[in-house]
Structure 1
Amino acid sequence: MAISGFAKNYHEKMLPGYVSELLETDPEFIELFDNFAFDEVVKGGDLDNRTRMLAILAALVGAQCKSGYRIMMEAALNLGVSPVEIKEIVYQAAAYLGIGRVLDFLQVTNDVLKERGIRLPLKGQATTTADNRLEKGIQAQVDIFGPQMAEFYKSGAEEVRHINYWLAENCFGDYYTRTGLDYKLREMITFCFLSAQGGCEPQLTSHAAANMRIGNDTHFLIQIISQCLPYIGYPRSLNALRCVTEAASLAVEKS
């Protein structure tokens, strides 16, 4: 089996002139992977390149694949994803993965941007202040999840209530309110973080529902899972599909 013409052309579009060392050491594997990921999967979906690349980068951060992230970051830039959009993926990942799993990706991102002659820091994207981050975070939660979130930051037993408070002011107030990515894209990358890291199925179902609520419908989420599958594998992709199905069923019951 040879690498298909479509896969070769798509690979060249992503990474002009790049030849993987694995083509020499593991040619059979590269044929299998490239024909699947860069031919069958790409042709099997209807996502534009920008959306596909944003999803893949978020999935690679979630899956902790630093070397793959670096390669696909180069591809994303070549396909029109902006440095700001990539930085916003990494920044938001800190809320869902923790700095212990994100710091290396921030360094890789900075290294690639510097190699391309892009001056750092990039233009700031913050829209909140210390005085209004809670208020703006609550509004973001309401906009994305619904009016029931207006008082969520006060909920829970007294000893754990601060976590829900932080969720509103930090996760949503600090990150979701930033420019660079809109709510639909931020919910999409959150869905990818959670899908790729696994073990977060309750949160994944909740965010699948939130995606649907703001316009990222079931078809779109299935396309996202499909495009990320070569990078996160079948088990986590099937778990994500189950969560989407569950969220869709709950939405039907509520209606």
Structure 2
Amino acid sequence: MNERFQRGAARQAELGGPGGIRGRVYGQLADIAPDLHRFAVEFAYGDIHSRPGLDAGRRELVIIGALIALGDTRPQLEAHLGSALNAGVTPGEIVEAVLQALPYAGFPRVLSAMTVARGVLAARDLLPLTDSIAQ
């Protein structure tokens, strides 16, 4: 393993580990694209996500917004919603971040993203949101 991969793997571990959803996605593609996982760890986490300037929670909110705008990113959105929670982003902040994408990404993508967020929050027994959490 090179230094970029080690740095990226360490960053992934900080945010909840390389397993789970990320591991399943890359594992399903290992027989056809074995380097894809390495590229993601080295570039996305080793080079970009490890940069200074934003804390992990803010960085995850930016990523969530980008994934919502792209659409059709359910596995990645699930992973990054989980990472956001692991980085200290509150459930209410996640809901608000998804809502902030509405004027830019549109109702279909925000409704899809909110459905994914609901699933992630439910899996962690964080629903229903109370008024104090959602504020």
TM-score by length of 1: 0.43
Instruction: Return 5+ residue gaps in structure 2 as ranges.
Output: 127-135
Q: Please, which of 6, 10, 15 is the counterpart of residue 144 of structure 1?
A: 15
Please tell me the residue identity of whatever aligns with 1:138. Answer: A
Structure-to-structure mapping, 1:31-180, within 5 angstroms: 131-146=2-17, 148=19, 156=27, 157-180=30-53
1:70-129 CA distances to partner (integer Å, 9 max, x unpaired)?
Answer: xxxxxxxxxxxxxxxxxxxxxxxxxxxxxxxxxxxxxxxxxxxxxxxxxxxxxxxxxxxx
| Corresponding position of 2:82 | 209
Aligned residues: percent identity?
28
Structure-to-structure mapping, 1:208-227, within 5 angstroms: 208-227=81-100
Please tell me the residue identity of whatever aligns with 2:82. Answer: A
Mapped to 2, the partners of 1:160 and 1:227 lie a distance apart of: 35
Pair 1:175–1:230, CA change in 2 (3 A): same
Report the alpha carbon displacement of residue 174 of structure 1 after superposing the two structures with TM: 0.8
The higher relative CO (CA closer than 8 Å, separation ≥ 6) is in 2
Report the alpha carbon displacement of residue 228 of structure 1 after superposing the two structures with TM: 2.3
Larger Rg: 1
| 1:228 equivalent in alignment to 2:104 | no
Mapped to 2, the partners of 1:247 and 1:189 lie a distance apart of: 18
Moved over 6 A (4+): none
Report the alpha carbon displacement of residue 139 of structure 1 after superposing the two structures with TM: 0.3
Determine if contact 2:56/2:84 at 8 Å carries over to the other structure.
no
Report the alpha carbon displacement of residue 225 of structure 1 after superposing the two structures with TM: 1.7
| Corresponding position of 1:193 | 66
Please tell me the residue identity of whatever aligns with 1:242. Answer: T
| Corresponding position of 1:238 | 111
Please tell me the residue identity of whatever aligns with 1:134. Answer: F
Mapped to 2, the partners of 1:135 and 1:183 lie a distance apart of: 18
Aligned residues: 119
Pair 1:147–1:169, CA change in 2 (3 A): closer
| Corresponding position of 2:123 | 250
Report the alpha carbon displacement of residue 158 of structure 1 after superposing the two structures with TM: 4.3
Instruction: Return 5+ residue gaps in structure 1 as ranges.
Output: 1-130
Q: Partner of 2:121: helix, strand, or coil?
A: helix
RMSD of the TM alignment (CA)? 2.1
Report the alpha carbon displacement of residue 147 of structure 1 after superposing the two structures with TM: 6.7
1:186-235 CA distances to partner (integer Å, 9 max, x unpaired)?
Answer: 11111000011111122112211111121112100111122221222111
Q: Partner of 1:160: helix, strand, or coil?
A: coil
